[in-house]
Amino acid sequence: MNHNPQSGDGKHDDDTALSDFLASLMEYTPTIPDELVEHYLAKSGVQCPDVRLIRLVAVATQKFVAEVASDALQHCKARQASVIKDKRDKQQKDKRLILTMEDLSKSLREYGVNVKHQEYFADSPSTGIDPASRDE
């Protein structure tokens, strides 16, 4: 990126880059619905009639969630891989990728969110396993 904010050309480039960026946001449909973002933005005091701004926040939020989730996924995979081999055969059945509090708090810590996993608040160990397979 070699731009010169002093020159008029550079400014013009920045303008077009900005509008292109915002226009590209409109083409993308984020999973996080606009209404949700709008609601919380309004709650926080922002008045923005601009849909592109809402889209920007929605996309940024989705990017954040996706990053946290993929980090947690890596933690999850690493934990499952570290299980000793002979045990692994036993647990082959429930080798599903489950978003657990443990992995989530690890990945969130990297993003500056300290989630203290409540020790007394135990999710059932069979969480995320199919009810059918649980019976076996």
Partner 1 sequence: MNDGGLENRKEHGKSQKQSKSSKFNSKSDDFALAIAKVAVAQVCESVGFQSFQHSALQTLSDIIVRYIYSIGKTANINANLAGRVEANVFDVLQRLEELGSGLGFAGASDADRCVVNSGIVRDIVHFVGEADDFQFAYDVPQFPVVKEWKETGSFWEKGEEPPGKHIPNWLPVFPDPETYAARTSEGNETMSVLNGEKSELASFETKLEWSLLNLQQRFACNGNEGGSSHDGGDAVRAREAAESNPYLAAPLHFGEKEVEVSPVVLPVKLSNEVALKNIVSENCIVGNHVSVLETFAPAIEAMKSGFCDSENRQKKVLHNQRPMVHFKIETGKKSLGSATNV
* Span 61-100, contacts to partner 1 by CB under 8 A: 61-66, 68-70, 72-73, 76, 96-100
Among 8, 43, 84, 114, indicate the residue that binds partner 1 (CB under 8 A). 43
Q: Does 128 bind partner 1 (CB under 8 A)?
A: yes
Pick the binder of partner 1 from 35, 78, 83, 91 (CB under 8 A): 35
Cα–Cα distance for residue pair 32/63, rounded to 1 Å: 10
In whole angstroms, how close is the CB of 132 to partner 1 at the nearest point?
A: 10
Nearer to partner 1 (CB atom), residue 12 or residue 88: 12
In the bound state with partner 1, the residue whose beta carbon lies nearer, of 85 and 131, is 131
What six digits make up the tokens of 2? 């070699």
Q: Assess 36 for contact with partner 1 (CB under 8 A).
A: yes
* Smallest separation, CB 82 to partner 1 (Å): 18
Rounded to whole angstroms, the Cα distance separating 122 from 73 reads: 20
Q: Is 18 in the site for partner 1 (CB under 8 A)?
A: yes
Question: From the centroid of its chain, how far is CA 99?
Answer: 12
What is the C-alpha to C-alpha distance for residues 73 and 58, in angstroms, rounded to an integer? 22
Residue 28 carries which DSSP code? S
Residue 39 CB partners (closer than 8 Å, separation 6+): none
